[in-house]
Amino acid sequence: MKNRKLSRSKSKGGIDWFRYYINILLPKLLPFILECSELRPGTIV
């Protein structure tokens, strides 16, 4: 892990979880969590 770069192996397929988390999960999940906390206080998401 030189220079703190994220290393990826070329032999495995599947989902790139770091990229999925940053580009898909956060932009869609965070607004939903904020909406739930405003409309229904006490909701665990």
Whether 39 and 33 have beta carbons less than 8 Å apart is answered as no
Whether 12 and 24 have beta carbons less than 8 Å apart is answered as no
Q: Would you list the domain boundaries of the chain?
A: 15-45
What's the pLDDT score for residue 28? Answer: 92
What's the pLDDT score for residue 27? Answer: 92
pLDDT means over runs of 10, the chain (45 residues): 65 78 90 90 82
- Between CA 36 and CA 39 the distance in angstroms is 5
What's the pLDDT score for residue 19? Answer: 87
What's the pLDDT score for residue 31? Answer: 92
